[in-house]
Chains A and B, each alone.
Chain A
Amino acid sequence: MDLVESLAGRTAFIVGSAKNAGKTTLLNFALRRLRPLGGVGFLSIGVDGEERDLVFGCPKPRIRAEAGDLLVTSDRMLQASELGWELLEVFPGSTVLGRLVLARVRRGGTVELCGPENNERLSQMLTALRGRGARTILVDGAVDRMTQVASLPGAGFVHVVRADPARLDSARDAMRLAHSLAAVPLAEGLPEDGTAVFSGALTRGRLAALPLSTRALVLEDFTKVFLTWREWKAATQRLDMRFARRWELLFFCVVLSDVSREDFASGLEPDLLARILFNPYEVACA
């Protein structure tokens, strides 16, 4: 099945491995593909009102909204946009960029998004978007907001990875790690004896301090794993790893720079490769 179209009907968080990974570009692409499949809604996590990328200084892509779309942003961002709009809801609280609002687009154009800083508000906004008819909801995530992805039931995430020759191995290992974490089962039916439960982060130090008698380890969710791919792989050979909360990896979107697809794919496991969408802006000329 087409990976982008598989997002229809879902709430998908688009998160990136780094700044400028290409999240917003993918969001724009996915919105175009998903609109014909039903109402779309979108928002971002946190406040990000810069015109230019803070790290690289390049212009940031803006989100293109079309008539009928539902979106969450601040009232000031909405007024600074090109859109025609109607307000459907104003959420409690405020951000540095004004109050967060749910709007329906009456005339298309570009807009910048800003969104909630905490999970409770995020959940409220997702419910509001669904209630107003958004069949598919896309959330422009951020590198450091993975916990929000993990906390919402039924949500999945799309991991955008940017790979260049200097970061080729680390990008592949990060994907291997995410792919492996996605396969970790829930902590059900484990015997108490020999099972350790961690409420915080799993680090190399904490792993080493585990008693030798430990056979299974329960973590809150995937965001609590602070190991490299190799460390994780070694740990899973001696421990039955489980998560307390379910999460779902939908697919990877890989943006290559100075790396060919063949080079990138060499050595990657087939089931992981099947979950990769290579830069969709490259498809037409491939």
Chain B
Amino acid sequence: MREAWAFAELDAFLADYRPLSPYGLAAKDRAVFFTEPAALEREYGLIERCLDLLASDPTAVGRWETRLKRLPALDFDLEGPLGLSELFLLKKFLLHVRGIFADLPEDLRAAAGADWRSEELYHLLSRGGSTREGEEEAFHLSESHLPELGEVRAGLEKLEGELRTLREGQLSGLRQRLGLDFSGRDFLLVPAEGAGSLCGEPDLLIEPFDGARVSVKPGLGVRGLELAAARERLIARERALEAQVLAGLGAAAGREAGRMRGYQEAAERVDGWLAKARLAAAHRLARPRLCEDGAAIEIRGGRHIPLEARNRALGLDYTPLTCTFAARVGVLHGSNMGGKTAALKTVALLQVLAQSGFFVPAESFRTPLFEQIDYVGEDVREPVAGLSSFGLELHAVLGLLRQPGARRLVLLDEFAKTTNSREGAALLSALLAAFWRRPACRALAATHLAGLTLPAGAAAYRMRGFDAGAFREFLGAEAELPLAERLARIHRFMRYELVADDGAPRAGDALKVARVLGLEAEVVDEAERLLERSR
């Protein structure tokens, strides 16, 4: 199905779909595809609920979104040994999940499966709090976990104090006796000449620095060494006790690993609904209406947002798509540059979005669900060694025909356009007939091939094409125009509405387009004469 996704330009559209948590982002990458109406209707209902909340209580939604953004990825095995960082991340995760779950309205909480049951673990990881207000994410190994840890830390603090007092006294003595001021310095460089007088000082360590200077450093003295050694021992004990605490916390976390996975899934759902609601609000998206298998696909005011954006960038108008595809098999004719592919892309985008659980860019969109959406056409197929573009198309079609039972929507864009037009038309006619014989299959083909034979019951559509009356006024007024202006003219006179094709023979607009694009008048005139003669 990824060809259909690419043809629909889904990725370009979903650039504006921005889940905030790592879980929502992972779900975006997984690209869920719904095929059951009940699950999809539920998804739509929850997006609608979030849209209501965005309008009625944006402050609350902002709070949840802030917490979703702060959720860390728990990218480690919760049942394995956990280190400092992992426990910090777990505490941070629990803090924000807890906050979101507590703040959600009851119906959303239930729909998300946001069932908070980890109060004890959360408080265990939060023991001791932070040294600063407002730093609720901070984590440390509190002495409240082990009384001995408190005793060791108190002992360390006492030793630090003694060492500080000892050092201050020592530095003061050195300053008074020798004029050496160590304020803010671990050592000093003094001239080697005369440094000999310092050699007998018990509180100084002296080492050569260069030929002219020696470095002098206050030594600790016997008492200082005893205190420093005691401090080392206490730090080692502190680390051993901290390791015990870490192990205990890790074990407690491991016992709740299953719950953590549940919380991640709940956060992923809430994040997805909120992001889909934001997307719907930003692009004025509509909730799709689902209908039974075989019912018509009805589009009113359907917009292919990436195409619309490109037109806007070029200063061109965009015509939304309105049409009803009632027949199981349909063919879509139209001028060169008349909008056939754009119409097909719009159908693809709306259908893919709807079945991916999104609202759609249309005034209204009514559609049945398919198990599969397929695209056959150029540009998005992966190359297969030895196959031409025609060969690649056939390769893709073979795959579709081998699965006759699947409820699928097949979109074909300019099938067989690279081969002889008569054979191409015959092949496309036969292919559409083959799809018609598969009752679960729905097919829509955009083509410029004439002379198709369609199965009885199939429908033909055409893009309205050039407005010849308006265009005629411009004939003869050609000058040297830049390409952008020529494109603007085509857009100005092209009517992108899709209408039923009555089958009456009608000239295409290729020559008019060629003229507007700047092909020499002499050549176009000759082509028109030849066309007339062939009729």
Residues in A neighbouring B139, C-beta threshold 8 A: 86-87
Q: Assess A282 versus B188: contact at CB under 8 Å? Given A78-B84, A90-B72.
A: yes
Bits for A77-111, please: 1 = Cβ < 8 Å to B, else 0: 01100101111111010000011010010111100
Q: Assess A29 versus B180: contact at CB under 8 Å? Given A99-B85, A258-B212.
A: no
**Does A284 have its Cβ within 8 Å of any Cβ on chain B?**
yes
Judge whether B85 and A98 touch: CB under 8 Å: yes
Bits for B172-216, please: 1 = Cβ < 8 Å to A, else 0: 000000001111111111110000000000000000011111010
Judge whether A258 and B211 touch: CB under 8 Å: yes
Chain B, Cβ-Cβ closest to A68: B131
- Whole-angstrom CA separation of A88 from B136 in the bound complex: 9
Judge whether B137 and A88 touch: CB under 8 Å: yes
Judge whether A84 and B153 touch: CB under 8 Å: yes
Residues in B neighbouring A164, C-beta threshold 8 A: 210
- Whole-angstrom CA separation of A32 from B239 in the bound complex: 27
Which residues of A253-269 have CB atoms within 8 Å of chain B's CB atoms? 256-258, 260
Judge whether B181 and A284 touch: CB under 8 Å: yes
B435 CB, nearest partner CB in chain A, Å: 49
Residues in B neighbouring A154, C-beta threshold 8 A: none
A78 CB, nearest partner CB in chain B, Å: 7
Judge whether B210 and A29 touch: CB under 8 Å: no
Q: Assess A28 versus B188: contact at CB under 8 Å? Given A75-B84, A78-B84, A285-B180.
A: no
Q: Tell which of B83, B92, B137, B187 touches A75, judged by Cβ atoms closer than 8 Å.
A: B83
Q: Assess A90 versus B153: contact at CB under 8 Å? Given A258-B211, A282-B189.
A: no
- Whole-angstrom CA separation of A199 from B213 in the bound complex: 46
Chain A, Cβ-Cβ closest to B235: A82
- Whole-angstrom CA separation of A86 from B136 in the bound complex: 12
Judge whether A285 and B190 touch: CB under 8 Å: yes
B179 CB, nearest partner CB in chain A, Å: 8
Judge whether A29 and B235 touch: CB under 8 Å: no
Residues in A neighbouring B137, C-beta threshold 8 A: 88-89
- Whole-angstrom CA separation of A164 from B210 in the bound complex: 9
Bits for A218-248, please: 1 = Cβ < 8 Å to B, else 0: 0000000000000000000000000000000
Judge whether B138 and A88 touch: CB under 8 Å: yes
Q: Assess A281 versus B239: contact at CB under 8 Å? Given A90-B72, A106-B131, A258-B211.
A: no
Judge whether A29 and B184 touch: CB under 8 Å: yes
**Does B103 have its Cβ within 8 Å of any Cβ on chain A?**
no
- Whole-angstrom CA separation of A101 from B242 in the bound complex: 18
Judge whether A285 and B191 touch: CB under 8 Å: yes
Judge whether A107 and B160 touch: CB under 8 Å: yes
Chain B, Cβ-Cβ closest to A100: B85
Chain B, Cβ-Cβ closest to A90: B85
Q: Tell which of B135, B153, B186 touches A28, judged by Cβ atoms closer than 8 Å.
A: B186
**Does A280 have its Cβ within 8 Å of any Cβ on chain B?**
yes
**Does A151 have its Cβ within 8 Å of any Cβ on chain B?**
no
Chain A, Cβ-Cβ closest to B89: A90
Highest count of chain A CB atoms <10 Å: which of B85, B88, B160: B85
Residues in B neighbouring A256, C-beta threshold 8 A: 210
**Does A123 have its Cβ within 8 Å of any Cβ on chain B?**
no
**Does A20 have its Cβ within 8 Å of any Cβ on chain B?**
no
Residues in A neighbouring B84, C-beta threshold 8 A: 75, 78-79, 87, 101
Bits for B284-296, please: 1 = Cβ < 8 Å to A, else 0: 0000000000000
Binding site for B on A (CB under 8 A): 25, 28-29, 32-33, 61, 64, 75, 78-79, 82, 84-90, 92, 98-99, 101, 104, 106-109, 132, 164, 256-258, 260, 279-282, 284-285
19 sampled A-B residue pairs with Cβ under 8 A: A29-B184, A29-B185, A32-B184, A33-B184, A86-B130, A87-B88, A88-B135, A88-B137, A88-B138, A90-B88, A90-B89, A92-B73, A104-B138, A106-B140, A256-B210, A281-B185, A281-B186, A284-B183, A285-B191
Q: Which 3 A-B pairs have the closest CB atoms?
A: A86-B140, A99-B85, A32-B184
